[in-house]
């Protein structure tokens, strides 16, 4: 059975990696698809190409995981991947109860408009406070994000915020 793990992935975090790794053991094939989140319009740090590059590098060790992008409705993308008798499912990670209301709404809408099923995977508690936006904020001040993201994301963040990291290193002597 095929699963689609959609998201902004700006950039991919250790929480995403945890959910992805566990999904890759449950499904024959998992496609990580970078999609547009209208709520994050103009807020992405990395370009689409950069995010795809980071995702490919971070997931290269998982043989049944592929990386893609799509601009449009998630249900249309999922429909393209359906292989009868199975329907592809959507994977979403849940960190805490605070994620649930938003995710529940989207899952219901995706079932209503495209009969798409969503499977939730709870991220390990160690990642429950990690989000791409918090990681970007910490990195923008040159803080240590090495535990919270895969190595390739950390390197990309350090390149983006090179000045902040250099300045913090000087201040810390």
Binding site members for substrate: 8, 40, 74, 92
Q: State which of positions 71-130 bind ligand PNS (CB under 6 A).
A: 73-74, 106, 109
**In degrees rounded to 5, what are phi and psi of residue 91?**
-105, 135
95 noted as active-site residue = yes
**4, 8, 46, 78: which one binds ligand PNS (CB under 6 A):** 8
Catalytic residue list contains 16: yes
Q: Least distance in Å: CB of 36 to ligand PNS?
A: 6
40 is known as an active-site residue: yes
Q: Angle at which helices 151-160 and 132-140 pack, to 10 degrees? A: 50
In the complex, minimum distance from the CB of residue 163 to ligand PNS, in angstroms, rounded to a whole number: 27
What is the DSSP secondary structure assignment for residue 96, as one 8-state letter?
A: S
CA 3/CA 5 separation, integer angstroms: 6
Do 32 and 168 form a contact (C-beta atoms < 8 A)?
no
Q: Which one of the listed residues 24, 51, 95, 153 is annotated catalytic?
A: 95
Annotated binding-site residue numbers for ATP: 8-9, 16, 93-95, 103, 127-133
CA 46 to chain centre: 13
Helix (H) or strand (E) holding 167: helix 162-171
- What's the rounded Cα separation, in Å, for the pair 55 and 80? 21
For the CB of residue 7, give the shortest distance to ligand PNS in the complex, in Å: 3
Catalytic (active site) residue 36: no
- Active-site residues: which are they? 16, 40, 95, 132
Site residues for ligand PNS per CB under 6 A: 6-8, 35-37, 40, 73-74, 106, 109
């Amino acid at each position: 059975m095929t699963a689609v793990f959609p998201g902004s992935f700006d950039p991919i975090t250790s929480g995403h990696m945890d959910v992805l790794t566990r999904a890759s053991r449950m499904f024959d094939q998992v496609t990580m698809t970078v999609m547009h989140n209208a709520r994050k319009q103009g807020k992405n740090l990395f370009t689409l190409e950069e995010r795809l590059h980071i995702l490919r590098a971070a997931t290269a060790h998982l043989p049944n995981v592929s990386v893609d992008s799509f601009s449009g409705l998630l249900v249309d993308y999922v429909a393209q991947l359906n292989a009868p008798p199975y329907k592809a499912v959507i994977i979403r990670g849940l960190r805490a109860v605070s994620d649930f209301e938003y995710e529940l709404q989207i899952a219901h809408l995706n079932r209503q408009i495209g009969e798409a099923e969503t499977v939730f995977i709870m991220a390990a508690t160690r990642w429950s406070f990690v989000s791409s936006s918090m990681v970007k904020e910490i990195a923008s001040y040159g803080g240590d994000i090495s535990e919270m993201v895969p190595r390739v994301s950390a390197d990309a963040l350090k390149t983006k915020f090179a000045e902040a990291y250099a300045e913090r290193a000087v201040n810390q002597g």
